[in-house]
């Protein structure tokens, strides 16, 4: 087994990463940052997102493990004081994994410019730089609405507890292979009208966003931001790829949600 380690720069995470390296070496587990079988991230969900994008081109070969050194994360099953148990689980690894869907984002440009393709673990947003986004929204080939507002957020089930939730989206269980589209501050009056409700899109459907003014669009994929111009269409769908977590124990999703957003139960 080959293991890569990625940590944030907080002192506690650096300390935990150094301890983990020592434990892996003592267990004769190879540390390989180039072609790992497993990536262990140390920090929080942001660190795991960074690791996902770093190794996005190797998803068919890598499983992910998150160790959180702060508050509870949705992608981080292990705590910093459980490293010995984690290494023991690695030694007894049988290849088992849990897979979650990803978001495929394809940007098609005007003219002969080649299209651009991205993957997101949590969500993607389409916004207008310094102004109101006006765009036609299609679900597959069916025109659904003309949107006016700050932007549109499309999230995966695992991303439904993040930015999507903050703009009014529902929380979806990760086993549901679907996308969720939520409006960001839509304009609704007698002239402009949208559904003003999040939509859950089936896994075999595609969301197409056609901006009326495609100059200076702001496109995000998780924590990555890209300024785009001359955009003809943005296509969003469930990706063919998926992310695999090496989960030697399963933490209940609804317990995570309750603990993160509600707190200690009476």
Contact of 247 with 221, CB cutoff 8 Å: no
Helix, coil or strand: residue 119: strand
Active-site residue 45, yes or no? yes
Distance between start and end Cα atoms, the chain:
43
- Of the candidates 45, 77, 150, 222, the residue annotated as catalytic is 45
Residue 8 and residue 195: Cα distance in Å, rounded? 40
Find the Cα–Cα–Cα–Cα dihedral 12, 10, 74, 80, rounded to 10°. Answer: -10
Cα three-residue angle 99-101-107, rounded to 5 degrees: 145
Burial (CB < 10 A; 0-12, 13-18, 19+), residue 216, is: middle
Please name the residues in contact with 194: beta carbons below 8 A apart, sequence gap of 6 or more. Answer: 145, 146, 147, 148, 149, 183, 186, 188
C-alpha count within 13 angstroms, C-beta hemisphere, residue 184 = 19
Strands 178-186 and 116-120, by their bridges, are unpaired
Which residues are tagged catalytic?
A: 45
């Amino acid at each position: 087994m080959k293991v890569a380690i990625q940590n944030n720069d907080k002192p506690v995470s650096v300390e935990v990463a150094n301890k983990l390296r020592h434990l892996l070496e003592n267990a004769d587990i190879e540390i390989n940052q180039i072609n790992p079988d497993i990536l262990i991230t140390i920090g929080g969900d942001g660190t795991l997102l960074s690791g996902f994008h770093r190794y996005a081109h190797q998803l068919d070969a890598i499983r992910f493990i998150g160790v959180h050194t702060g508050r509870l994360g949705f992608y981080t099953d292990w705590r910093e004081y459980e490293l010995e148990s984690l290494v023991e689980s690695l030694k007894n690894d049988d290849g088992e994994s849990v897979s979650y869907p990803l978001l495929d984002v394809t940007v098609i440009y005007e003219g002969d410019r080649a299209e651009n393709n991205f993957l997101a673990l949590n969500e993607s947003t389409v916004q207008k730089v310094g102004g109101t986004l006006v765009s036609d929204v299609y679900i597959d080939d069916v025109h659904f609405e003309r949107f006016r507002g700050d932007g549109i957020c499309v999230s995966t089930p695992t991303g439904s507890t993040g930015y999507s939730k903050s703009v009014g989206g529902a929380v979806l269980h990760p086993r549901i292979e679907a996308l969720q589209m939520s409006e960001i501050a839509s304009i609704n009056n007698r002239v402009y009208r949208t559904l003003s409700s999040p939509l859950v899109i089936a896994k075999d459907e595609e969301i197409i966003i056609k901006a009326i003014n495609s100059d200076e669009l702001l496109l995000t994929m998780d924590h990555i931001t890209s300024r785009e111009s001359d955009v003809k269409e943005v296509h969003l769908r469930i990706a063919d790829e998926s992310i695999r977590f090496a989960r030697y124990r399963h933490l209940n999703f609804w317990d995570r949600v309750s603990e993160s957003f509600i707190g200690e139960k009476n």
